[in-house]
Structure 1
Amino acid sequence: MEVGAFLLAFLAGSVNAVGLLGFSHQSVSHLTGTSSLLGLALADVDLSVARHLLLTLLSFLAGAALSGILITSTALKLGRHYGFSLLIEAALLVMAMLSLQQGSDLGIYLASMACGLQNAMVTTYSGSIIRTTHLSGIFTDLGIMLGNRLRGIPLNGRRLLLFVLLIGGFICGGVVGTWLFRLLHFTALMAPA
């Protein structure tokens, strides 16, 4: 499970790096910043930007909903629904790349949908313990673990390792995604696909 979590976080980190470098510094793998930008756009009555940001949020939500339709069990069966979900994620990223190469914002929405699908799939499998497309919750959990340890409560070593691998995977994916974007522009999305 740890290796899979690292790899999925790595892929999400690379998709997000492409997003930040190529989509006007906009994240597609986590939505807190996008939601804040939506609030700013609404306050400024910039309806074009607000529409774009709302579509990005709704695309992530649609990907998560698609996962909810496809994944009916927390039992990992790669040959079945999980494998099909990963195939759909890859197809979404390829379509995102092709759309972005044509200058279409549809690519942003497809990449966000792919991230929503992945995040929901992993969340379902892990029982809401693992998130691979954003790190705020993981850092929160690490802080809680640190506070508990300072109070004398022993650390859960396996969970600590998992969190470190998720953080490391996302950051390493960001590094590789950056390198690939600088070399290949939006074709860099083929790597995580």
Structure 2
Amino acid sequence: MTGPAQRPLLFLDVDGPLIPFGGEPQDAPTFAAAPGSAGADAHPLLARLNPEHGRRLAALPCEVVWATTWMADANECVAPRIGLPELPVMSWPEPSGTDDEDERLGLHWKTRALVARAAGRPFVWVDDEITGADRIWVAAHHRGHALLHRVDPRRGLTDADYLALDSWLRELS
């Protein structure tokens, strides 16, 4: 049995997986803010956050890490609306000489940093911008198990996504 330090990481993007976007605005469901959380006026799309995401993410056997351009704002604006505690936040490196090469390869700008942060630990990356180039690069450069799970940004995380994540994470133990 592995301890908490050995739990897989789940790198979670906000825009797309948690806040659906694209498609017709009237097609996106909206939800009331939890008491004491930031109002929808804090960000116009926060009302699209389904409060059930918090419970479902917390039930997964992993350590959730914000992997989003929201950075610390994810803990201030998103976490309270879905009932999550403060989570670790991925810090992104400054642009470097590899950025041009990554762009030519079709590699997402987050990929290298997530693999470095995982440091061999199993991880799941939940994002709406994952491509085949990211999958190939992670397979070649990460020595642990990894699941790159692409979410449809028009729908966000669905029941099927949670089932796939839970199944993969439980297979590791």
Q: TM-score, normalised by structure 1?
A: 0.26
The structure with more strand, counted as a fraction of residues: 2
Task: Kindly name which structure, 1 or 2, has the bigger radius of gyration based on alpha carbons.
Answer: 1
Q: TM-score, normalised by structure 2?
A: 0.28
Higher relative contact order (CA 8 A, sep 6+): 1
The structure with more helix, counted as a fraction of residues: 1
